A and B are shown apart, each in its own frame.
Chain A
Amino acid sequence: QVHLVESGGGVVQPGRSLTLSCEVSGFASSSYGMHWVRQGPGKGLEWVAVIWSDGSKTYYADSVRGRFLISRDTSRNTLYLQMNRVRAEDTAVYYCARDRSDGNYGGDYWGQGTLVTVSS
C-alpha cells in the first residue's frame, strides 16, 4: 500500500529556512520521480518542484528557483524540500506526490500535507 507522510511544517520567520520531509512506504522510492506541490490559503494547486527517479534531474517553479532545493535519500525512503529565504507568499500546505513514472507524468499518490506559515 502506497503511503506518503509529510512533516516539518510550522511557523517560520521571513528570510529564514525550513526543511520539509516526506517519508514514503509501499513502493521502491528509487523507481519513481517525486513532486512537491503547494496550496496557499483558499487557493488552487501550485507545482513547486520535481526530482527524477534516478535523481539525475531536478526542476523548479520560477517562484522558488534559487531558494528551494529538492532532494531525496533513497536509503531512508525520504524526500526533502529545503526552503531558504522564505517569503510570506510561501505560506501554504505543502504536499509531496509520487510521479506515475520517472518524473514526467504527474502525481498518482499524495501525502496528507504539512502546513507552512511564514510570519514574523
Chain B
Amino acid sequence: DIQMTQSPSSLSASVGDRVTITCRASQTINHYVNWYQQRPGKAPTLLIYAASSLHTGVPSRFSASGYGTDFTLTISSLQPEDFATYYCQQTYSIPPVTFGGGTKVEIK
C-alpha cells in the first residue's frame, strides 16, 4: 500500500499568514493527489485535484504543486474560515485509496 505522510500534523497561524502543508508518498504517484479541507463537525470538501488543479468554487488563495512523491498545499493569506484540518489523498494505486494523517490548522 502507498503511505501518505503529511507534515506538520498541526500548526498555529494568524489571519493573513502564508501556510504550507506537505505530503510525501512512499512511492511515486505521478500527479494522482487530491487535497481536502474538513471543518469541525463537517464533511470533507475537495480543494485541489490532480496535484494542482483548483476545484470549482475554491478561492484562489489555495494552490498546490508537486509530482512524483512530494506535494505541497499552500494558503497564501489565511482567512478565519480556513482554520480546519487538511488531508492529502492518493488515487494512483487502488486499492486502497490512502489519506495522509491530516494537518490541523489552528488560530495563533
Contacts and interface: CB of A to CB of B under 8 A. Distances in A.
Interface of A: 35, 37, 44-47, 50, 59-62, 95, 100, 104-113
Q: What 5 pairs between A and B have smallest CB-CB spacing?
A: A59-B95, A47-B97, A106-B34, A110-B43, A45-B99
Interface stretch (B20-28, B59-67, B75-83, B86-94): B86-94
B108 to A, nearest CB: 23
A104 B44 contact: no
Nearest to B44: A110
Would you call the interface of chain A mostly helix, strand, loop, or mixed? strand
A37 B99 CA distance: 10
Nearest to B90: A106
Would you call the interface of chain B mostly helix, strand, loop, or mixed? loop
Interface residues of B, number: 24
B99 A44 contact: yes
Contacts of A61: 95-96
A47 B43 contact: no
A12 to B, nearest CB: 22
